[in-house]
Copies of this chain bind each other. A is one copy, B any other.
């Protein structure tokens, strides 16, 4: 039996595309495209800045990705709309399967391990009503997933060996980063996507957090 469950936040417990309705309200017909491009650029920037050695907090990266995405799609973004959309990131919807899956866990410890900087993740977790033994952010390491030191943070802070930690992510590359480091990883494949070809395989693939 695992001794701890460690969850990715964005895309796994919380639906990053719950910003889409607000995007759509601001720019009718463009909500889906903006939400998709915003998320794609957000992730690209985490990888590129990490490799450049130019870390900035996820809150700043999320804002910069929004600015890029609006510019690319020809959408006029003023400060009020930017603030409103970034505010949505502090009240992202929980995936429907998340609360029940967490409730059904036994006595194991549970934590979040996230790219989110404290200024983003702490209000989000607080408003969700969920409780965790630890909310761990890459922010103190100044490098983003899937760098191995990020996954090592869970081992160190929970004081549980890697082989006794199950890491849960709906981002396949994140699950594979955890696997490459040595955690046991479950990929939540909600969309029937192929496994990423990164030289590793998750221990389990399930279609929903409910299957944990």
Binding site for B on A (CB under 8 A): 41, 44-45, 47-54, 56, 64-65, 67-68, 71-72, 143-148, 173, 176-177, 180, 193-194, 196-200
Contact = CB atoms under 8 A, between A and B. Distances in A.
Nearest to A192: B72
Nearest to A177: B52
Contacts of A145: 51
11 contacts: A44-B47, A44-B173, A47-B51, A48-B196, A49-B198, A49-B199, A53-B148, A64-B197, A67-B197, A68-B196, A68-B197
A198 B48 contact: yes
A49 B68 CA distance: 25
Nearest to A191: B72
Contacts of A177: 48, 51-52
Nearest to A61: B197
Give the oligomeric copy count.
Answer: 2
A50 to B, nearest CB: 6
A18 to B, nearest CB: 23
B148 A52 contact: yes
Contact of A197 (B52, B65, B198): B65
A76 to B, nearest CB: 13
Contact of A180 (B52, B56, B143): B52
Question: Which 9 pairs from chain A and chain B are nearest by CB?
Answer: A64-B197, A47-B47, A71-B194, A51-B147, A48-B173, A52-B146, A68-B197, A52-B180, A51-B146
A174 to B, nearest CB: 9
B148 A193 contact: no
A54 B197 contact: no
Given A44-B173, A173-B44, A51 B197 contact: no
Contacts of A45: 196-198
Given A52-B177, A52-B198, 10 more contacts: A44-B173, A45-B197, A47-B51, A48-B177, A51-B146, A52-B146, A52-B176, A53-B147, A54-B200, A68-B196
